[in-house]
Amino acid sequence: MAEPHPDQDLGDARCSAFDSRLRVPALYRRPKADQHPQWTYYFSYYGVNQAKLEDYLAVSPEILSDHPMRREEFASIISTRIKSPELYDLLVTKGWGTPLKPLAWRGDLCFGPSQGQNVTFVRPNAWIGEWQSIEPHAALQEMLQRYLRAFGPATVEDFVLWWGARIADTRKLFKSLAGELELVDVEGLPAYALRDTIEPIQALEPMGTVCLLPLFDAYTMGLGRGKEIDALLPMKLQKLVYRPQGWISAIVLVDGFIRGTWEYKIQPGQIVVMVSLFSSIAKKMEQGITGEAERIGKFLNTKVVLEYKDI
């Protein structure tokens, strides 16, 4: 029987405090997100009934604080408090963090500083100290503006994919910012851009910039999928970047175009960077890739061997 899978995994920007306290004012309590019927079904599927789910949501903010808490520690305390061993098993065995999502969406949980290889969780308003409450709709508008400044022009569907919102709600969100948005043409596809970004975008010239972006890079995740990004990454090649089980490959980026993927393996005394390109390599691109590989070597303080492999 397939496991229920509400929305997307925990490892996205919504519940990470955006990796920076400077961005926290955009956090908000998603209204009634924890009341979605899928949650009741999801938790009951693993033996946590509606009453225990409500206890879990009510008691967790009392347990979480400004003290970083590992998942196992949190699971042990909350399951003991509400007398639900089933909840403990659910919290510690679901690696994607799905059972933590309702707390994140309520604004009661976000990632804290890592402890070695272990992630930790804190209560945002306790950890941050100065907590600014923001009306949910205004916070969503702010998120859309930031998204379009980073990834625009973009479509409604692009934002739905990135943020995990519902399509109907997102259309209303775009409409609420109609005075700030402009519908533009991107390689034949209509997309939205903030009006004050159009002129700077049009003034940009290709510079041959080459970047080796890592796995799950924000740029790659924010692009969208399908025909909307065909100009940047042809649809026939998208499966090499956006892989099964949500895996996002490390990519070779040239002036915003995805030209290949890369990976590495650590060997005694060196690291081997293996690049797979989608087309023939030009001299300037090769020089850029070599420079990026050398930068990785400096970062890891080791010798780098650069190899090219077929797709």
Q: Does residue 303 register a pLDDT over 90?
A: yes
What mean pLDDT, rounded, does the chain reach? 85
DSSP code of 10? S
Contacts of 179 (CB under 8 A, 6+ apart): none
Q: What domains are there in the chain, each with its CATH number?
A: 13-127 (no CATH), 136-203 (1.10.10), 210-308 (no CATH)
Inform me whether the pLDDT recorded for 35 exceeds 60. no
pLDDT beyond 80 at 15: no
- What pairs with residue 266 in β-bridges? 271
Written as one string, the DSSP assignment of 240-309 is HHB-GGG-B--EEEETTEEEEEEEEEEETTEEEEEEEESSPPPHHHHHHHHHHHHHHHHHHTSEEEEEE-
Q: How confident is the model at residue 311 (pLDDT cuts 50, 70, 90)?
A: confident
Residue 175 has pLDDT above 50, yes or no: yes
Q: Is the pLDDT of residue 4 over 90?
A: no
Provide the β-strand partners of residue 304: 271
The pair of structure tokens assigned to 236 is 């026939």
Task: Dihedral sign for Cα 75, 77, 82, 85, please.
Answer: positive
- List alpha helices for 128-233, DSSP H: 136-151, 156-163, 167-176, 195-203, 218-222
